[in-house]
Amino acid sequence: MISDANQQAVDTVSFNEGKLIINLNPDTDADTIEFRSPDGKLLQTSQIGRKQQVTVPLLIKYGNVHGVNKPLPAGDYGLIATKSSEDNDHKTVSEQTVELTSSFSVADVSVLKNNAPSDFDNNVPAYADNLQVTVKNDGNLPLGIKYIGVTDGVPSPIPPPQEVLGGGMSTSVFELADHNSTGPFYIDSNSTLAFKTTTGPLSYYAYWQNPEGGDSPGPHTWGAPKNGASWETIQANYCTGDQHPATIVVAPINLDSQQATVTLRWDGKATRRQRLDTDYACTNVSASNISNKNSSA
């Protein structure tokens, strides 16, 4: 992590809550620590004084949106320790580097059920509706998340990030798993955070209408009857153990979008999501075989 030191002013570094924590050697006679970018640009100067620790924020302002920041670019950053002289010159005591990295992976995918009774039917059983995606920050820079979606392999795919975001920071298709809050969200170094989809990608929308009654079958996506079907046909032919690979897409603020695949199995039985609705879902869906593509910088 730290290298190129003769007389080391910096003892160790650590990462916590989006900050680089610089722990100083108690024997150093330096009085200033300069934090420089990989191309040598001075980013921060910290006076040491009697302190044995200096902190550097790793998040910088992102665009014109209040409260939205992005992590520093990955690379080797300089930690330059200097000491003032009587003629106001600054003598370099030591030059060290710290490598800042960006890397992440999808650590887990699980299925969430809608257990709440509907406004129209309190007898609707729990059905599989959304996915919970746990993302792990494998780097030491904070990881900002602006999109999580399922772009194929499910009955109701979530549009890819370029369509949803449109250059902005919309988070309407996912939120934190433990409560209803929207982002952007930041994952600290070597930490995980769970998110849930919010648009019901595991549900089949507007597909069980009866064509003999003049109902429209609605738009066709994977797994749905092309021309509508009776409720008996839906229950007999769907949610019977079919398996399909689904694509999970995660778009961080400071990295390109990356994909992971997961095998989803539709099981249990088909059930109406609401008595008056024309859509349905399976009572059981399971996820397995998560595979990540490369996602580092």
What value, to the nearest 5°, has the Cα angle with vertex 246 and ends 242 and 251?
165
Question: Rounded CA gap, 266 and 285, in Å?
Answer: 5
Residue 58 has pLDDT above 80, yes or no: yes
Residue 262 has pLDDT above 70, yes or no: yes
Looking at residue 192, its pLDDT comes to 95
What value, to the nearest 5°, has the Cα angle with vertex 184 and ends 178 and 68?
145
Looking at residue 215, its pLDDT comes to 45
Looking at residue 233, its pLDDT comes to 75
**Whole-number mean pLDDT of the chain?**
81
Residue 162 has pLDDT above 60, yes or no: yes
Looking at residue 226, its pLDDT comes to 54
Name the helix (H) or strand (E) containing 291. Answer: strand 280-292
Which SS3 state, helix, strand or coil, does residue 162 take?
helix
pLDDT, average across residues 56-74: 81
Reported as a pLDDT band with limits 50, 70 and 90, residue 219 is very low
Looking at residue 49, its pLDDT comes to 72
Looking at residue 246, its pLDDT comes to 94
Looking at residue 183, its pLDDT comes to 67
Looking at residue 106, its pLDDT comes to 95
Question: Rounded CA gap, 243 and 287, in Å?
Answer: 10
Reported as a pLDDT band with limits 50, 70 and 90, residue 5 is very low
Answer yes or no: are the C-beta atoms of 71 and 103 closer than 8 Å. no
**Percentage, residues of the chain above pLDDT 70:** 76
Looking at residue 260, its pLDDT comes to 95
Residue 72 has pLDDT above 60, yes or no: yes
Reported as a pLDDT band with limits 50, 70 and 90, residue 194 is very high
Reported as a pLDDT band with limits 50, 70 and 90, residue 229 is low
CA dihedral 60, 66, 68, 72 (to 10 degrees): -10
More confident position, 248 or 178: 248
The pLDDT tens digits for 131-158 are 999 999 999 999 999 899 998 888 888 8
Looking at residue 221, its pLDDT comes to 46
Produce one character per residue of 209-244: b if its CB has 16 or more CB atoms within 10 Å, e if not.
beeeeeeebbeeeebbbeebbeeeebbeebbeeeee
* Six-digit token string for 227: 């021309």
